[in-house]
Amino acid sequence: MHIALNYPPPQEKCENEERKSEALARLGKYESMQIGHQAMDFVLPDLQEQEVRLSANEKSKILIVFWASWCPHCKVLMQEIEAWYTPEKQEIWQVYALSIDEDKQALEAFVQAENI
Q: Taking residues 97-113, report their average pLDDT.
A: 91
Q: Taking residues 6-11, report their average pLDDT.
A: 55
> What is the model's pLDDT at position 1?
42
CA 89 from centre of chain? 17
Rounded Cα distance, 104 and 30, in Å: 22
pLDDT tens, position by position, 51-66: 999 999 999 999 989 8
Indicate the fold that domain 3-114 takes in CATH: Glutaredoxin (3.40.30)
CA 52 from centre of chain? 14
pLDDT tens, position by position, 29-51: 666 667 777 778 889 999 899 99
> What is the model's pLDDT at position 81?
95
Say what the pTM is.
Answer: 0.67
Report domain extents, the chain. 3-114
